[in-house]
Chain A
Amino acid sequence: MSTENFKIQIRKGLLEFCVLQIISKKEVYASEIIEELKNSKIIVVEGTVYPLLSRLKKSDYITHEWKESTQGPPRKYYSISAYGLEHLKELIVSWNDINSSVKELIKTKK
């Protein structure tokens, strides 16, 4: 497994988690999500976010609302649902578990 492939697999697994995390903080529209994900280098291309948002919406983790913007056409703002928040909590727990055990593994190797 090459380093590049490793990164892709990790990103792929974490994308949903990260998007939910961003939406849970405040109401955001798609471009803000994309900016944040790009800044933290989780996504490379913007298009990948859209199918994911659609899937999260179908699973009722997030809801959306159209809002007028001062510049340009109306924007679609996403916010997390109670069900999604619950799901996110579970994800955070399991992430912390994995994170600590991986850290442990790296330590013992040293």
Chain B
Amino acid sequence: MKKTLTINIGHSIFNIEEDAYDILNRYLDSIKNYFNKIDNDLEIIKDFELRIAENFSSKVSSSKQCIDLSDVKEVIEIMGSLDDFKEIYNDTDTENVKEEKKSNKLFRDSSNRIIAGVCSGIAEYFKIDPIIVRVLFFIAVPLNLIVYIIFWIGIPSKDFNPDLRKILYRDKENGVIGGVSKGLSNYLKIDANIIRIVFVVSLFFGGAGLLFYLLLWLFTKEAKTIGQKMNMSGFNVNLSNIEDFIKKKTKNLNSPENTLTKVFLFPFRLLAPLINAFLKIGVFVFKTIFFMFSSIFIVFISVLLIVFSTISFKDISSEQDSEFYELLNALPDYFATFSVVFLLLTIVISVIISFYVLFKKKSNSYFFMVLIFLWIAFLILIMISLPNIILNMQELYLLPNWIDGNYSFIWKWDDGIMLNKNN
């Protein structure tokens, strides 16, 4: 049984299997990219899709209603790969391709992002895996947040072609525990057993390998579709590569493991279900702790906000407490408003960020960006107004009294915050 999708291509509707769709989609993307480069004409792509639809309709019948992977492969073969087009049109496009290679600028990567694509863009720039940059960013709390936002604002975004990139995935299908080692081995082109040995040996030296393993597990996705499995090994998705890849895969399955490998992997295979269950609990606990911390943070800020609002908006007459009245007067209304809005924004932003981190969801970038902009704007406003207020308070001799310990705040249920004169 396979899941199917419904596509509308060249004004015709087809049911297509998921893995076939993945390949077709990548193929069309690469074709679009190429045609856009040589001839900025959307009609080529429309005509091209029309022809693909014609080819597809010859493949379906009442007894076979779904387009599968072999149909897509055949149609790609009929339509031709990028290499075929390059043979015919190489005279015009070589210059463009060169230009593209030369312009190695830093962009945010909108095709592979979690929040705004900053990490992924940096990774693209240095030609390393986004995971590495993400882990580094994660470790460098809280400096990273500022750097991230600066990069976000300062760098334009760009859609990179994901076909041409090698991406670190977990290879659970061929893995022993979580597929991290096998995934790393695909990525680095080193034998998986060497990486496994390194992980195991590192267990006896303080367990740094374990931490690394868990971090990689947390930050990588499992390769599920054929496209992802190919990206994992750095294959470019085109017809000949799909064939090579499938051949290689079947060959790999047939080759038996040698005895040494079997002996080495035996205890892990035995432990794997146990470790898997344990790790699932671990990830759950980690997420819960993270969630708890962020909720505590949010509750803390909310309480701060409530307390703050009682100071700012509590109607206190001068007869009750003249000193406090003066202090309140010295705190201008606009400053109170800034602070309240600022704290509200902080809450909203932290809620959103914790959701993204927990569920690995992509953000609605523009909305989030506007929030961050507002947050920074209010932060700046507060920073600007603060010195004036402090100077003003010093003039009124409020601050020295405060600092000398003549006054203290007390909380009363009926009156909110009160200023109390120490005797």
Could you list which residues of chain A lie within 8 angstroms of chain B, going by C-beta atoms?
Answer: 8, 11-12, 15, 30-31, 34, 44-48, 50-51, 53-55, 58, 72-74, 76
Contacts and interface: CB of A to CB of B under 8 A. Distances in A.
B43 A54 contact: yes
Given A30-B51, A74-B11, 7 more contacts: A46-B80, A47-B48, A47-B80, A50-B35, A51-B44, A51-B85, A72-B54
A50 B12 CA distance: 19
Contacts of A54: 39, 41, 43-44
The A interface is mostly helix, strand or loop, or mixed, namely helix
A69 B386 CA distance: 74
Contact of A46 (B12, B41, B51, B87): B51
Nearest to A75: B50
Given A12-B88, A72-B12, A73-B12, A51 B51 contact: no
Contacts of B31: 47
A11 B47 CA distance: 22
A11 B41 CA distance: 24
7 contacts: A30-B50, A47-B80, A47-B85, A48-B85, A51-B39, A54-B43, A76-B47
Interface in B28-61: 31, 35, 38-39, 41, 43-44, 47-48, 50-51, 53-54, 57
B84 interface: yes
B50 to A, nearest CB: 7
The B interface is mostly helix, strand or loop, or mixed, namely helix
B125 interface: no
A48 B80 contact: yes
B88 A15 contact: yes
A47 B87 contact: no
B249 to A, nearest CB: 26
Nearest to B83: A45
Given A34-B51, A72-B57, A73-B11, A51 B84 contact: no
A51 B87 CA distance: 13
B79 interface: yes
Nearest to A53: B47
A45 B78 contact: yes
B88 A50 contact: no
B89 interface: yes
A21 to B, nearest CB: 18
Interface residues of B, number: 27
Contacts of B89: 48, 51
Contact of B88 (A48, A74, A76): A48
A11 B39 CA distance: 21
A72 B11 CA distance: 9
B200 to A, nearest CB: 50
A50 B43 CA distance: 9
A73 B50 contact: yes
A91 B273 CA distance: 73
Contacts of B51: 30-31, 34, 46, 50
B10 interface: yes
B304 to A, nearest CB: 62
Contacts of A12: 87-88
Contact of A45 (B12, B38, B80): B80
Contact of A55 (B39, B48, B77, B80): B39
Given A72-B54, A72-B57, A76-B47, A48 B84 contact: yes
Contact of A51 (B11, B12, B38): B38
A103 B215 CA distance: 72
A55 to B, nearest CB: 7
Given A46-B78, A50-B44, A8 B87 contact: yes
B80 A44 contact: yes
Contacts of B78: 45-46
Interface in B230-281: none
A47 B43 contact: no
A11 to B, nearest CB: 8
Given A72-B57, A73-B12, A50 B84 contact: no
Nearest to A73: B11
A45 B88 CA distance: 11
A21 B397 CA distance: 97
Nearest to B88: A48
